């Protein structure tokens, strides 16, 4: 699938729930904390069918996300079906990590069960190592659970475990250097992400915004000039750098300040309530659940995907007109 601007679509992010056991301020604003009714959420069969069709159209990589995907009941039964689908070579999970130690069956952690389903990467959110700050940002005192989840992911043997840290001025500037050391000790790929306006405007006030360039300077003040790694890519928009004197790489995702951010976009998103979104930072979304539930054929659904790709914008609207209309937790970050 290719859009009007030459973006080749090979990556589908699939949100499987809008529910979460945390309440991150930047993702789930206070006033939007009502869950969607169960009937409005794609069933496992519907989700698998849409992923299969995307695979037939050239999607090779998917990432399961949410909300917190591991809160979905019997989620492993969904995950088990994924490796059988055509073309999928790369299956990843985005999680806050707090449920990775939960036992799916006696002796089998969620992390090990996910790995056994053929997932090759897991991205875990961790904005700070300070327990009080973690509780303030996520609304839950679950730092020990998140850290245990990271250990469980390492023990499960995923080829790639990434840590994602959302930058927020006044919340985690002091956390950056400790996070770099934490990632180095565990051989994890750490990425810093700019806050995007997908929550209430008040959370996204200019005073909270902390650009990647400043984060980079904060880290350089401790470690020296970071060495650009333009050849190193992970199928996403992060720019990677090496820490001087270490084998460690860290990434920066400058969704707001990097003006070339959208050029290499290869993504499409499927929300848990059956909307296809050609871009996270655009209002455009198309209801594929409607034709799906009205009995559309595979061919009709394939055409639906192609039409959505055709409407993919050249770049996101975050810097201009965007005002949050839908919380991140429902779109799938």
Instruction: Indicate which single residue of 195, 265, 270, 330 sits in contact with ligand SAM (rule: CB under 6 A).
Output: 195
126 CB neighbour count, 10 Å cutoff? 25
Q: Pick one of 7, 9, 14, 26: the residue that binds ligand SAM (CB under 6 A).
A: 26
CB of 152 to ligand SF4, least distance (A): 17
Q: Which does 199 bind (CB under 5 to 8 A by kind): ligand SAM, ligand SF4, none?
A: ligand SAM
Q: Does 20 bind ligand SF4 (CB under 6 A)?
A: yes
Q: What is the closest distance, in whole angstroms, from the C-beta atom of residue 8 to ligand SF4 in the complex?
A: 28
Alpha-carbon gap, residue 303 to 297, rounded angstroms: 10
In the region spanning residues 42 to 61, those forming contacts with ligand SAM, defined by CB under 6 A, are none
Q: Is 138 helix (H, G, I), strand (E, B) or coil?
A: helix
Q: Does 96 bind ligand SAM (CB under 6 A)?
A: yes
Place of tokens 């929300």: 271
Closest CA to 19 of 64, 67, 78, 76: 67
Contacts with ligand SAM in 268-327 (CB under 6 A)? Answer: none
Tokens 């720019």 belong to: 239
CB of 125 to ligand SF4, least distance (A): 6
Residue 222, SS3 per DSSP? helix
Which residue in 190, 185, 122 sits closest to 153, CA to CA? 122
Residue 163's Cβ-side half-sphere holds a number of Cα atoms within 13 Å equal to 28
Q: State whether residue 246 is helix, strand or coil.
A: coil
Give the DSSP letter of residue 263.
T
Strands 108-109, 189-194: parallel, antiparallel or unpaired by DSSP? unpaired
Does residue number 67 form part of the binding site for ligand SF4 (CB under 6 A)?
yes
Q: Is 23 in the site for ligand SF4 (CB under 6 A)?
A: yes
Residue numbers 114-153 binding ligand SF4 by CB under 6 A: 125, 138
Cα–Cα distance for residue pair 177/294, rounded to 1 Å: 52
Q: Which of residues 158-177 bind ligand SAM (CB under 6 A)?
A: 164, 166
Binding positions for ligand SF4, rule: CB under 6 A: 20, 22-24, 27-28, 66-68, 96, 125, 138, 328-329
Binding positions for ligand SAM, rule: CB under 6 A: 20, 26-27, 65-66, 68, 94-96, 125, 164, 166, 193, 195-196, 198-199, 328-329, 333
């Amino acid at each position: 699938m290719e859009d009007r601007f030459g973006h080749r679509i090979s990556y589908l992010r699939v949100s499987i729930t809008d529910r979460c056991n945390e309440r991150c301020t930047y993702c789930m604003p206070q006033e939007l904390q009502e869950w969607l009714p169960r009937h409005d959420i794609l069933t496992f069969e519907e989700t698998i069918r849409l992923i299969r069709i995307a695979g037939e159209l050239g999607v090779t990589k998917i990432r399961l996300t949410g909300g917190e995907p591991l809160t979905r009941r019997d989620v492993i039964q969904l995950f088990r079906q994924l490796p059988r689908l055509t073309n999928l070579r790369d299956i990843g999970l985005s999680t806050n990590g707090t449920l990775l130690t939960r036992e799916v069956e006696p002796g089998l952690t969620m992390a090990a069960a996910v790995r056994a389903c053929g997932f090759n990467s897991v991205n875990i959110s961790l904005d700070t190592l300070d327990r009080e700050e973690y509780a303030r940002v996520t609304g839950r005192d679950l730092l020990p659970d998140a850290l245990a989840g990271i250990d469980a992911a390492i023990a499960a043997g995923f080829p790639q475990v990434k840590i994602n840290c959302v930058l927020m001025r006044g919340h985690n500037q002091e956390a950056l250097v400790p996070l770099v050391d934490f990632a180095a000790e565990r051989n994890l790929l750490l990425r810093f992400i700019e806050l995007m306006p997908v929550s209430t405007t008040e959370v996204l006030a200019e005073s909270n915004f902390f650009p990647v360039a400043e984060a980079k300077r904060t880290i350089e003040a401790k470690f020296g000039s970071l060495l650009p790694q333009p050849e190193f890519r992970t199928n996403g928009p992060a720019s990677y750098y090496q820490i001087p004197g270490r084998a460690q790489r860290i990434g920066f995702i400058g969704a707001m300040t990097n003006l070339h951010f959208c050029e290499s976009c290869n993504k499409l998103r499927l929300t848990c309530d059956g909307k296809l979104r050609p871009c996270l930072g655009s209002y455009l979304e198309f209801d594929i659940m409607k034709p799906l539930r009205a009995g559309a054929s595979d061919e009709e659904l394939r055409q639906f995907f192609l039409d959505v790709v055709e409407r993919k914008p050249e770049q996101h609207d975050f810097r201009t007109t965007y005002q949050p209309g839908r919380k991140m937790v429902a779109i799938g970050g």
